Amino acid sequence: MPNTEAFDKNQVEYDKWFMKNKPVYFSELNAIKEILPDFNKAVEIGVGTGNFAEPLGINYGIEPSKNMARIAKSKGIEVVNAAAEDIPFENESFDLVLMVTTLCFLENPIKAFSEIYRILKNEGLFINAFIDKNSSIGKIYQRNKTKSLFYNSAVFYSTEEVLLMLNQTGFKNFDFRQTIFNTADKIKKLEQAKKGYGEGSFIVIKAQKNKQI
């Protein structure tokens, strides 16, 4: 299990961030909604306090921080205390898996992506949203890592690196959205998502599990 001390001690402050930064939060949520397919059963990996799963109608979550999970459960989400690299669900349990700004905290992204692939049904979809390390906000986060409660041990990735890992673990048919084109202090209203990547700091990739013959 990853070290969750910072999240366990600061879960309330973490949860309040979303309300304090509504234009950023809603811009990110909107970018995911644009690319979100219809689904029957979905799980969010690294569900945190449920700020994405709840409004997106996702009823299941994986979360290593017990205190964060407690808040998510209060929002009606069924949360299992586990790590992304060892997901306690059976093969082909879900038709959609969501991950939002969790990638940078993973101890082994390839293993986590392989686990996500395993629990997805054939042709199921994985939506991974993250901060691109080469973006303006990605560079700020990396520069200020040592001062951050949550990001001091985070490892950020470029979109190209994420695509390589997705390819390595069997995913295909990629679709992209991007948002957050300014620094958080300058965002006063909803930023519309754009297709592709390379401009925004918040990248959403939709990938499909290969159909098994």
Question: Could you give the domains of the chain?
Answer: 5-209 (3.40.50.150)
Q: What's the pLDDT score for residue 186?
A: 86
Q: What's the pLDDT score for residue 112?
A: 98
Q: What's the pLDDT score for residue 3?
A: 61
Q: What's the pLDDT score for residue 212?
A: 59
Where is average pLDDT lowest: 3-12, 25-34, 156-165, 196-205? 3-12
Q: What's the pLDDT score for residue 5?
A: 67
- Helix, strand, or coil (residue 43): strand
Sorting pLDDT into bands at 50, 70 and 90, what band is 15?
A: confident
Using a 10 angstrom Cβ sphere, with 0-12 exposed, 13-18 middle and 19 or more buried, the burial of residue 10 is middle
pTM of the model: 0.93
Cα of first residue to Cα of last residue in the chain, in angstroms, is 34
Model confidence at 198: pLDDT above 90: yes
Q: Cα angle vertex 21, ends 18, 24, to 5°?
A: 95
Q: Cα angle vertex 207, ends 205, 208, to 5°?
A: 165
Tens digits of residue pLDDT in 84-117: 999 999 999 999 999 999 999 999 999 999 999 9
Structure tokens that stand for 70 in this block: 């407690």
- Helix, strand, or coil (residue 141): helix
Model confidence at 213: pLDDT above 60: no
Tens digits of residue pLDDT in 112-157: 999 999 999 999 999 999 999 999 999 988 888 777 666 777 899 9
Tens digits of residue pLDDT in 44-94: 999 999 999 999 999 999 999 999 999 999 999 999 999 999 999 999 999
Instruction: Give the C-alpha separation, 36 to 208, whole Å.
Output: 12
